[in-house]
């Protein structure tokens, strides 16, 4: 199954942009996306669908006002540009704070392809149904597991971006994901375990570990958690796994440094150049898959045509940069960090994260455990919430008691909470390992975005509390 790429799309965009008059800036983005989704629940097919979505989004800046229009009809781009212009002009009289302009950026030119091991288009739909069906069945292999769900989902994108400042790019991207949930039950008690991966890459990049391995791991863990004891709430030493570090970096730190959020009064607004974390902490957002391959939030070029490279948000504990698009970059008198992203052709680009992580340090995980007298090893990031001031509360799926330098019993899932900046200030050990591990997640901010996060294991102080 394959999207037949509209080979002429980029030509349509080029002629539209070159003939456009009367706007300070014009941008046209074509995107064709093929989404395949298979979901099995308790032995039954819950959902199987394939959706083809393509069209063009046009954004113009006229008299300091943004206008945006989208159409699924690539042969009516002129008309759509007219709509974008009248949308912008509709605001000209009432908008008070006009957009001053866009920061100069080097515009990307060329064709970019995600490297894939095993093209998703070459894998028959039957195979995609099979992994979800077998995964769900295997997740119920432990007799304690009463309910299971398994999903395979992929997005294949063909994009073209042309703008009046010189961007001229075509992008071919591939993002598959696989996830399993197992719920064990006994009496009134229940425990849930999740496993899975979401990558930028191909079929073999996703299934480095077999689909059955993911499922069996989830099944066994759910059963074990059923017998586990609850933790007692307290502020204590915690060792966070890469997924938890990724969630903390994205949710509790990353959002506070998005420039649009900074402009509406985020807690970090006056803190560039200040120490906000332990000097062991370097926290990065990158469009590339740094350190490890196939990070789920990888984009090569952002949706304003700017190369999406690495940006250190915190370097050795010092707050170094916010995350920018070209508009906010001009406001802050800096350069775009390539964080402008749109989910679909019909969405306008917003400041979004990509792969957000803490860089590895020198400590071995075994040393971290050995040097912990009393604390918890926390694994398996679940959903969480974070506020504008860095206050967060995340769920963790499994918690291991650590006593006198040894990992002791498995405990029930728990919440960890605190202020993210306080937690990062308390970091005293940073592992030498590294993993991206929140690639099955989507970040929501008016529109979804595929993001990833990770890091090494780190040791810090946080509040642990009972959950479920």
Partner 1 sequence: MQDLLRYAIREAEALGASDIEAYAATSAESEVFVENNDVKQAKSQSTSSIGIRVLMDGSVGFYSVNSLARNKIKDAVSMATKIARVSPRDRYHALPGKSKPRMLSGIYDKNAESFAPADAARMATEMLETAKSYDKRVSVDSGNFSANVGTHILSNSNGIELAERASVFSWSIMGMAIEGSDISNFDFQLGGSHSVRGIKVRAAAIEFAETVVNSLGPLRIESFKGEMLLTPAAVNEMMQETISHSINSDAVQKKSSHFAGKVGKRVALDMLTVEDDATNVEGLGASSFDREGVAHHRNVVIENGVLKKFLYNTYTARKAGVKSTGNASGSTNSPPSVSTTNFVVRPGRSSLDTLVSEMKNGLIISRFSGNVNPVNGDFSGAVKGGRLVRNGKVQHAVKEVMVAGNVFEALRRLNGVSKERKVLHDSILPYMRFDGISFTAG
Q: What residue ranges bind partner 1 (CB under 8 A)?
A: 1, 41-42, 44-45, 47-55, 65-73, 80, 83-84, 86-91, 94-97, 124-126, 129, 133, 263-264, 346, 348
User: Which two three-digit tokens encode residue 111?
Assistant: 């064709």
How do beta strands 435-436 and 452-455 pair? antiparallel
Where would I find the H helices in 105-229?
125-139, 203-206, 211-226
Q: How far apart are CA 216 and CA 211, in angstroms?
A: 9
State the Rg of the chain over Cα. 23
User: Which two three-digit tokens encode residue 337?
Assistant: 């960090």
Reduced to 3 states (helix: H, G, I; strand: E, B; else coil), residue 11 is helix
How many whole angstroms from its chain centre is CA 104? 27
User: 355: which strand partners?
Assistant: 286, 452
Q: How far apart are CA 394 and CA 386, in angstroms?
A: 8
User: Which two three-digit tokens encode residue 302?
Assistant: 């952002």
Burial class (CB in 10 A: 0-12, 13-18, 19+), 121: middle
Q: CB-wise, 4 or 366, nearer to partner 1?
A: 4
Least distance from partner 1 to the Cβ atom of residue 84, Å: 7
Burial class (CB in 10 A: 0-12, 13-18, 19+), 379: buried
* Whether 352 contacts 299, CB under 8 Å: no
User: Which two three-digit tokens encode residue 325?
Assistant: 């698009």
DSSP-derived secondary structure for 73-119: -GGGHHHHHHHHHHHHHHHHTT-SS--------PBPEEEEE---SS-
User: Which two three-digit tokens encode residue 458?
Assistant: 């780190």
Q: How far apart are CA 217 and CA 238, in angstroms?
A: 23
Least distance from partner 1 to the Cβ atom of residue 125, Å: 6
Neighbours of 120 (CB within 10 A): 21
Least distance from partner 1 to the Cβ atom of residue 163, Å: 17
* CA quadruple 84, 90, 96, 98: dihedral, nearest 10: 30
Burial class (CB in 10 A: 0-12, 13-18, 19+), 13: buried
Q: CB-wise, 263 or 366, nearer to partner 1?
A: 263
Phi-psi region of 170 (alpha: psi -120 to 50; beta: other; left: phi over 0): beta
* CA quadruple 387, 392, 393, 399: dihedral, nearest 10: 160
Of 461, 465, 67, 434, residue with least CA distance to 236:
461
Residue 252 is given by DSSP the state I
Q: CB-wise, 71 or 372, nearer to partner 1?
A: 71
Q: How far apart are CA 457 and CA 440, in angstroms?
A: 20
């Amino acid at each position: 199954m394959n999207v037949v790429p509209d080979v002429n799309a980029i030509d349509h965009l080029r002629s539209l942009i070159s003939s456009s008059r009367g706007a300070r800036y014009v941008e046209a983005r074509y995107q064709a996306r093929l989404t395949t989704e298979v979901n099995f629940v308790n032995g039954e097919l819950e959902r199987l669908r394939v959706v083809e979505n393509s069209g063009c989004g046009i954004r113009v800046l006229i008299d300091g006002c943004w206008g945006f229009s989208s159409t699924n009809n690539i042969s009516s781009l002129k008309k759509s540009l007219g709509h974008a212009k009248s949308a912008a002009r509709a605001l000209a009289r009432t908008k008070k704070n006009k957009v001053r302009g866009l920061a100069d950026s080097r515009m990307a030119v060329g064709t970019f392809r995600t490297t894939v091991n095993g093209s998703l288009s070459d894998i028959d739909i039957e195979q995609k149904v099979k992994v979800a069906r077998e995964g769900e069945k295997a997740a119920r292999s432990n007799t304690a597991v009463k309910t299971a769900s398994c999903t395979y989902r992929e997005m294949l994108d063909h994009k073209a971006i042309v703008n009046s400042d010189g961007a001229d790019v075509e992008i071919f991207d591939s993002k598959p994901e696989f996830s399993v949930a197992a719920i064990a039950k006994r009496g009134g008690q229940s425990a849930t375990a999740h496993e899975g991966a979401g990558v930028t890459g191909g079929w073999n990049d996703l299934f480095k570990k077999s689909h059955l391995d993911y499922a069996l791991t989830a099944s066994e863990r759910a059963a074990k958690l059923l017998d586990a004891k609850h933790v007692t709430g307290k502020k204590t030493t915690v060792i966070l796994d890469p997924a938890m570090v990724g969630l903390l970096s994205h949710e509790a730190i990353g959002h506070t440094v998005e420039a649009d959020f900074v402009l509406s009064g985020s807690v970090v607004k006056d803190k560039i150049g200040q120490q906000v974390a332990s000097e062991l902490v370097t926290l990065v957002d990158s469009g590339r898959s740094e350190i490890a391959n196939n990070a789920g939030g990888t984009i090569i070029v952002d949706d304003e045509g700017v190369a999406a490279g690495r940006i250190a948000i915190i370097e050795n504990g010092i707050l170094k940069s916010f995350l920018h698009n070209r508009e906010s970059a001009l406001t802050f008198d800096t350069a775009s960090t390539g964080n402008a992203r749109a989910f679909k052709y019909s969405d306008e680009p917003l400041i979004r994260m990509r792969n957000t992580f803490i860089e590895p340090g020198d400590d071995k995980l075994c040393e971290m455990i050995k040097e912990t007298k009393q604390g918890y090893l926390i694994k398996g990031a679940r959903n969480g919430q974070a506020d504008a001031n860095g206050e967060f509360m995340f769920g963790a799926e499994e918690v291991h008691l650590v006593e006198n330098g040894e990992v002791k019993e498995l405990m029930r899932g728990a919440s960890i909470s605190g202020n993210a900046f306080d937690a990062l200030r308390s970091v005293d050990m940073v592992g030498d390992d590294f993993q991206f591990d929140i690639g099955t997640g989507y970040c929501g901010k008016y529109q979804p975005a595929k993001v990833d996060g990770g890091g090494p294991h780190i040791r810090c102080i946080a509040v642990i509390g009972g959950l479920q």
